[in-house]
Structure 1
């Protein structure tokens, strides 16, 4: 009998080695999966990705927070330019040239900036662009 291999051994080349390897791999995966919650807790508070950003997060991203100098009372959200019209969205209001928001009249709407005038004071609002210019003038 010593000359004949076991029937189980004849079915697999290295049955004991494969079994030991699979047990080690299972234990490794179990240990890794058990560590995942600990890693998440170590990172601190998790942010809900579907929640809109707070005003402080928006200001921190665009660099116009309290640390960036004097802050304008107005928030320029968008500029819409077309051959026949120019519209600025300030504090949620769509404004054209000559229209007013909080007693400030829109004097100029240009690519990237809007100029307001209130009580003789000129207020320039800008939009930070995260797009880069190509050599041909196009943006991406």
Structure 2
């Protein structure tokens, strides 16, 4: 188990810290730190604060992901899904929420708006070569094997 430090940004002491909603959950739910109701009209997107910042080891990244219930019930998602939080970022975590639905969607203080999932980051060295090792697939992509 790795330790990730979390800090409430001043003025957000009333919000609950991110938490998993079940023992098998992989994501920590993030809450909206809006100061007044925010309305997302159909087709509109807005940057929504969460009132927290984190510090994690260099071998981790945090991914901000949409909540499936909001997506299914209301057409609410994120424009940059998943959003990546790098290990050296110390600013407030914010969520770019978008309304793909056909009705306005209201976001109130404390609403669960996204989830935070931690992933290990592989140490990679890029090596430039003149030609790549071949495979049966080759450059085939975007449905080349069928439907």
Fold shared, TM-score > 0.5 on shorter chain: no
TM-score interval for Structure 1 and Structure 2 normalised by the shorter chain: under 0.3
Higher Rg of the two aligned structures: 1
The structure that is helix-richer by fraction is 1
Higher strand share: 2
Q: Which has the higher contact order (CA 8 A, sep 6+)?
A: 2
Q: TM-score, normalised to structure 2's length?
A: 0.22
